[in-house]
Structure 1
Amino acid sequence: MNASAESQARTRFFARALGPFLVIVDVTAVARASDMQALLSQFEANSMWAFVSGAFILLFGLIMVAAHQYWTGAPAIIVSSLGWLIVLRGLLLVAFPRAFVAVANSMIGAQGWWVSLCIVFALVGLYLTYVGWAPASRRPASHPATAVPDLPRAA
Structure 2
Amino acid sequence: MSASIEAQRRTRAFARVIGPYIAIFATVYAIRLPELVGLINDLFARPVLVWLLGAVMLGAGLVIIGGHRSWRGPLAVTVSLFGWFVAVRGFLLIAAPEAIRSGVDATMLSPTATTLARIFFVALAAVGLLLTYSGWFTKPATPEQGTLLGDLGVRRRR
| Number of corresponding residues | 141
Mapped to 2, the partners of 1:28 and 1:100 lie a distance apart of 20
- Is contact 1:23-1:125 (8 Å) kept? yes
Q: Which runs of 5+ in 1 are unaligned?
A: 142-155
Mapped to 2, the partners of 1:108 and 1:119 lie a distance apart of 17
Mapped to 2, the partners of 1:108 and 1:79 lie a distance apart of 28
Quick one: percent identity of the two aligned structures? 34
- Corresponding residue for residue 151 of structure 1: none
Higher helix share: 2
- Corresponding residue for residue 116 of structure 2: 113
Runs of 4+ aligned structure 1 residues displaced above 4 Å come to 137-141
- Corresponding residue for residue 129 of structure 1: 132
SS in 2 for 1:32: helix
- Is contact 1:36-1:108 (8 Å) kept? no
Q: If you compute each CA radius of gyration, which structure gives the higher value, 1 or 2?
A: 1
How many Å apart are 1:137 and its aligned residue?
Answer: 5.6
Mapped to 2, the partners of 1:106 and 1:121 lie a distance apart of 21
- Partner letter of residue 15 of structure 2? A
Question: Are residues 64 and 46 of structure 1, via their aligned partners in 2, closer, same or farther at CA, if it must alter by over 3 Å?
Answer: same
Per-residue CA deviations over 1:9-34 (Å, capped at 9, x if unaligned) read 11101100011001100111122122
How many Å apart are 1:60 and its aligned residue?
Answer: 0.4
With normalisation by structure 2, the TM-score equals 0.84
Per-residue CA deviations over 1:57-80 (Å, capped at 9, x if unaligned) read 000000100011111100000000
With normalisation by structure 1, the TM-score equals 0.85
Aligned-residue RMSD, C-alpha: 1.6
Mapped to 1, the partners of 2:137 and 2:47 lie a distance apart of 41
Q: Which runs of 5+ in 2 are unaligned?
A: 145-158
